[in-house]
Chain A
Amino acid sequence: MQEWVEGIKVSRRGVLRALGLLGVSAAAAPFLAGEPGVASGQGNLGSLQPEEKVDATLKRLFGGRPIKDGSNMIKMDLPLIAENGAVVPITVEVQSPMTPTNYVKSIYIISDRNRRPMNARFSLTPEMGAAAIGANLRLNETGDVRAIAELNDGTLLMAKREVKVTVGGCGG
Chain B
Amino acid sequence: MAEIGKVRIRIPSNIKRGDVVRVRSLVIHPMEIVQRRDGKPVDKNYLFIHKVMVEYNGREILQADTTQSISENPFFSFTFKPTEPGMLRITFLDTHGGKYEGTAEIKFT
With A123-B62, A123-B63, A172-B48 as contacts: A135 and B75 at CB distance below 8 Å:
yes
Stretch of A45-53, A64-72, A156-164 contacting B (4+ beta carbons < 8 Å)? A45-53
Q: State whether B44 touches A48 (Cβ < 8 A).
A: yes
Q: State whether A125 touches B60 (Cβ < 8 A).
A: yes
Q: Indicate if A143 sits at the interface (CB-CB under 8 A).
A: no
Q: Indicate if B4 sits at the interface (CB-CB under 8 A).
A: no
Q: State whether A120 touches B64 (Cβ < 8 A).
A: yes
With A44-B45, A47-B45, A172-B33 as contacts: A86 and B72 at CB distance below 8 Å:
yes
Query: Which A residues are in CB contact (< 8 Å) with B33?
Result: 138, 170-172
Q: Indicate if B20 sits at the interface (CB-CB under 8 A).
A: yes
When each residue 51-70 of chain B gets 1 if its CB lies under 8 Å from chain A and 0 otherwise, what string results? Answer: 00000100111111111111
Q: Which of A45, A48, A125, A138 interacts with B70 by CB under 8 Å?
A: A138
Q: Indicate if A130 sits at the interface (CB-CB under 8 A).
A: yes
Q: Indicate if A152 sits at the interface (CB-CB under 8 A).
A: no
**What are the 3 A-B residue pairs with the smallest beta carbon separation, nearest first?**
A172-B68, A129-B81, A46-B95
- Give the interface of B toward A (CB within 8 A): 20-22, 24, 33-34, 41-48, 50, 56, 59-72, 74-81, 95-96
Contacts A46-B45, A47-B45 given; 9 further ones with Cβ under 8 A?
A: A44-B45, A51-B41, A114-B69, A116-B67, A123-B63, A128-B81, A130-B81, A134-B24, A138-B70
